[in-house]
Amino acid sequence: MWLTRPRPDGAEVLAGLTGDAARGQIVFDAGGCAACHATPKAEAEARLVLAGGKRFPSPFGTFVAPNISQDQQAGIGAWQAIDLWNALHNGTSPDG
């Protein structure tokens, strides 16, 4: 049996795309992102910080929702657009 990891895409996959915050808000709301990525027990506006930490026990171990806030060190604030693309489409972080 061979184990491989996804190959990240290059920046060319984003060529010609422009940001659209209104559509991003629709995707965020429809995807229920705050349900997993909000800090546990956060309420109201604090749920939108997206600091992560929610735990999901499974037979394979406990998965912890990551911090997807704009924080440069703890979150994804230092990521480039292609880094977010690869995380969402290929399951890879900038560190691999």
Q: Confirm whether pTM is higher than 0.85.
A: no
Q: What is the percentage of the chain residues whose pLDDT exceeds 70?
A: 99
Domain ranges of the chain: 21-89
Secondary structure (DSSP) of 15-79: TT----HHHHHHHHHHHTHHHHHSPTT--GGGGGG-----EEEETTEEEE----SS-TTTSSTT-
Residue-wise pLDDT tens digits, 50-83: 999 999 999 999 999 999 999 999 999 999 999 9
Whether residue 2 is predicted with pLDDT greater than 80 in this model: the reply is no
pLDDT of residue 96: 79
Whether residue 48 is predicted with pLDDT greater than 80 in this model: the reply is yes
Whether residue 1 is predicted with pLDDT greater than 80 in this model: the reply is no
